[in-house]
Amino acid sequence: MKLAIVGATGLVGQEVLKVLEERQFQFDELYLVASAKSVGHTIKFKGKEYTIKSMEEVCKLAPDVAIFSAGGGTSLEWAPRFAEMGTVVIDNSSAWRMDPTKKLVVPEINGNLLMAEDRIIANPNCSTIQMVVALAPLHAAYKLKRIVVSTYQSVTGTGKDAVQQMMDERAGKPAQKVYPHPIDMNALPHIDVFQDNGYTKEEMKMVNETRKILGDDSIGVTSTTVRVPTMGGHSEAVNAEFHKDFDLQEVRNLLSKAPGVVVQDEPKQNVYPMPLFAQGKDEVFVGRIRRDESQPNTLNLWIVADNLRKGAATNAVQIAEHLLKSVLVKS
Looking at the structure, tell me whether residues 47 and 131 fall in a common domain.
Answer: no
Looking at the structure, tell me whether residues 134 and 11 fall in a common domain.
Answer: no
> What angle, rounded to 10 degrees, do the helices at 248-257 and 126-142 form?
130
Report the C-alpha gap between 194 and 213 in whole angstroms: 24
Looking at the structure, tell me whether residues 158 and 258 fall in a common domain.
Answer: yes
- The pTM for the full model equals 0.95
The whole-number pLDDT of residue 186 equals 98
Q: Which of 41, 59, 181, 234 is catalytic?
A: 234
Q: Which of 59, 126, 139, 322 is catalytic?
A: 126
Looking at the structure, tell me whether residues 181 and 290 fall in a common domain.
Answer: yes
The whole-number pLDDT of residue 80 equals 97
Q: Per-residue pLDDT for 330 more than 60?
A: no
The whole-number pLDDT of residue 329 equals 56
Q: Per-residue pLDDT for 42 more than 50?
A: yes
Q: Per-residue pLDDT for 327 more than 90?
A: no
Determine whether 234 is an active site residue: yes
Residue 74: half-sphere exposure toward Cβ, Cα within 13 Å: 20
Looking at the structure, tell me whether residues 272 and 299 fall in a common domain.
Answer: yes
Looking at the structure, tell me whether residues 223 and 118 fall in a common domain.
Answer: no
Strands (E), the chain: 2-6, 29-33, 42-45, 48-51, 65-68, 88-91, 103-104, 120-122, 144-153, 220-227, 234-242, 261-263, 284-291, 298-305
Q: Per residue in 98-120, pLDDT tens?
A: 999 999 999 999 999 999 999 99
Report the C-alpha gap between 213 and 210 in whole angstroms: 5
How many structural domains does the chain have? 2
Going by DSSP bridges, is the β-strand pair 65-68/48-51 parallel, antiparallel, or unpaired? unpaired
Determine whether 126 is an active site residue: yes
Q: What percent of the chain has pLDDT over 70?
A: 99
Q: Per residue in 176-199, pLDDT tens?
A: 999 999 999 999 999 999 999 999
Looking at the structure, tell me whether residues 319 and 173 fall in a common domain.
Answer: no
- pLDDT interval class at 299 (50, 70, 90): very high
Q: Per-residue pLDDT for 44 more than 50?
A: yes
Dmax over Cα atoms in the chain, in whole Å? 60
Looking at the structure, tell me whether residues 95 and 170 fall in a common domain.
Answer: no
Nearest Cα neighbor of 87 from 61, 110, 115 is 61
The whole-number pLDDT of residue 326 equals 79
Burial of 191 (0-12, 13-18, 19+ CB in 10 A): buried
Q: Which domain holds residue 64?
A: 2-123+312-327
CATH number of the structural domain spanning residue 16: 3.40.50.720
Looking at the structure, tell me whether residues 119 and 132 fall in a common domain.
Answer: no
- The answer to whether the CB of 8 falls within 8 A of the CB of 303 is no
Looking at the structure, tell me whether residues 63 and 180 fall in a common domain.
Answer: no
The whole-number pLDDT of residue 331 equals 46
Helix (H, G, I), strand (E, B) or coil at 9: coil
Looking at the structure, tell me whether residues 229 and 152 fall in a common domain.
Answer: yes
Looking at the structure, tell me whether residues 99 and 149 fall in a common domain.
Answer: no
The whole-number pLDDT of residue 36 equals 87
Residue 84: which residues within 8 A CB-CB, separation 6 or more?
none
How confident is the prediction for the chain on average, in pLDDT?
96
Going by DSSP bridges, is the β-strand pair 88-91/120-122 parallel, antiparallel, or unpaired? parallel
- Enter the DSSP assignment of 159: -
